[in-house]
Amino acid sequence: MTPVLADLLIGSVVAEASFSLTRDSLVRYAGASGDFNPIHYRDDVAQSVGLSGVLAHGMLTMGLAVQPVVDWVGDPARVVDYQVRFTRPVFVDATDGAIVSVVAKVGAVDLGAGIARIDLSVTFNGATVLGKAQARVNLA
């Protein structure tokens, strides 16, 4: 059921999720996206360019972050705009993987346009990895 725009309160949490990433996740994403940069699956290569280890693809992190909004709104076509700034990498440990957490809150409501801005807090190990992450959803 589609959320009702007039019922939304600024600051209210509308969705939360955590996503587990493994090295297998990164290889699968590489195959789907065609991004086979070895910093996403080989520690030696990642370290040779100054990284502390293998990191998740930025677009994978970005895609995961919007999923709770899509689930909440019920139809991906209702997401009319989505933007982020990449602020920190998500390092994916070979054994422990990584957990990316997302909290989606109402940031603004435009009743006339039928649009809600949903602000996303996207973290890994307690640090923000996507800054100014915002999705605009059409609830008209």
Share of the chain above pLDDT 70, in %: 100
Tokens of 102: 């997302």
Give the mean model confidence (pLDDT) for residues 57-63: 98
Give the Cα separation of 65 and 84 in Å (integer): 10
- 26 falls in which pLDDT band (50, 70, 90)? very high
Give the mean model confidence (pLDDT) for residues 58-66: 98
Residues 69-128 have pLDDT tens digits of 999 999 999 999 999 999 999 999 999 999 999 999 999 999 999 999 999 999 999 999
Residue 1 has what pLDDT? 83
Q: For residue 51, how many C-alpha atoms fall within 13 Å in the half-sphere facing its CB? A: 20
Computed over every residue of the chain, the mean pLDDT equals 97
Between CA 2 and CA 39, with CA 17 as vertex, the angle to 5 degrees is: 125
Residue 70 has what pLDDT? 98
CATH of domain 5-20+56-138: 3.10.129.10
Is 60 within 8 Å of 98 (Cβ atoms)?
no
Give the mean model confidence (pLDDT) for residues 38-47: 96
Tokens of 109: 């409501």
Nearest to 61 by CA among 38, 80, 86: 86
Give the Cα separation of 113 and 126 in Å (integer): 35
Map tokens 């360019």 to a residue.
49
- DSSP class of residue 97 equals B
Share of the chain above pLDDT 90, in %: 99
